[in-house]
Amino acid sequence: MKNWKETLVAPTATLFEALAAINRSACQIALVIDEDMRLIGTLSDGDARRAILSGHALDQPIHDAANPSPTCARPGDRPSDLLRLMRDRGLHQIPVLEESGIVVGLATIDELLHATSRPEEVVIMVGGFGRRLRDLTRNVPKPMLSVGGRPILETILTNFRAQGFKRFWFAVHFKAEIVEAHFGDGSKWGVEIRYLREEEPLGTAGALGLLPHVPERPLILTNGDLLTTVDYTHLVDRHIASGCDATMAVRDYEVQVPFGVIKDVDGAIETIEEKPVYHSTVNAGIYVLSPSVLGLIPKRERMDVTTLFELAIESGLRARSHRIDGYWRDIGRVDDFQRANTDYDEVFP
């Protein structure tokens, strides 16, 4: 557990001193302890930012800014269990405590990923033009728009990495050089990134026909403009356990009509429903595809993923849905972009 003792600070430490400990340890967190090494609370870099924005001075003690009830682990907890806990709660670090509350370590997501790794490949579609966000995407691809101080695509990548995925393909077209210059081969993030370069737009599934090989295991296909806390490992595990060929992540979606809805027959009003809410199940833009489905994709031809699912069903293959919950936002419109920036620090601490 690297440098974890550098994270330790006393409850009388100032916010400036806690930030220095966070910077010194490179663990993105300070652990507030008493004189017996018992944990009192934690201060993440996100907590520190929020404290500063709320007016907490750098020379003030941190006790009011610290989290007094952090998520903790015990010595001997399995890396896979800790990763799932981090994923479920949006954490990058968890203090490790003895039963008495004494701090004996700090589990970090980077170290846990060395112990837990998924073999599946991930294809992220990042080549679209983002026409509905044209004022923002005229000179930059939509997945490279900054949300929460970093590109959307970087958050997607780090979320996958946090769940053990390390092998990526980015399907690029519009302003591909911006994406490639930022991410390179992925080594900065501890992953492998390769590129599928579309000479012409190939739709939401056509880029899969550019893969140099059909993977032996299922792969994940996802849009490059989705911010979500979905459990990708659970999605893949359910796909494999079900024995199906194609899985589509879906979610509940509701639309409220802002008027009274009238049902009439030949002008005679039968019912009036005031501002009804209609519920639908919608495509969430995340898929798991087995080799049997990937073999249906033509080489260098346009194909949308909905067409691929229809073709799979017509071919006698099994397609199923997987309902997801948690945070999910498609950055398709300006108000989605603005809302994502508002949500970011709370959802992705």
Q: Locate 284 and state its tokens.
A: 């969430």
Residues β-bridged to residue 323: 250
User: Is the separation of the CB atoms in 83 and 60 below 8 Å?
Assistant: no
Distances (CA, A) of 20 to 4, 53, 57, 135, 227: 14, 18, 15, 39, 31
User: Is the separation of the CB atoms in 301 and 202 below 8 Å?
Assistant: yes
From 2, 5, 188, 275, active-site residue:
275
5 is catalytic: no
How many residues would you count in the chain?
Answer: 349
User: Is the separation of the CB atoms in 331 and 225 below 8 Å?
Assistant: yes
User: Is the separation of the CB atoms in 145 and 337 below 8 Å?
Assistant: yes
DSSP letter, residue 332: -
Q: Locate 219 and state its tokens.
A: 């792969």
Burial class of residue 231 (count of CB atoms within 10 Å of its CB; 0-12, 13-18, 19+): middle
Classify 150 as helix, strand or coil: strand
Distances (CA, A) of 104 to 22, 190, 254, 322: 18, 26, 47, 39
User: Is the separation of the CB atoms in 255 and 278 below 8 Å?
Assistant: yes
Separate counts of helices (H) and strands (E) for the chain: 11, 18
Which of 281, 291, 282, 259 is closest to 272 using CA atoms?
259
HSE (side-chain half, CA atoms, 13 Å) at 179: 27
Phi/psi at 5 (5° precision): -65, -20
CA 29 to centroid of chain Cα atoms = 21
Kindly list the catalytic residues: 275
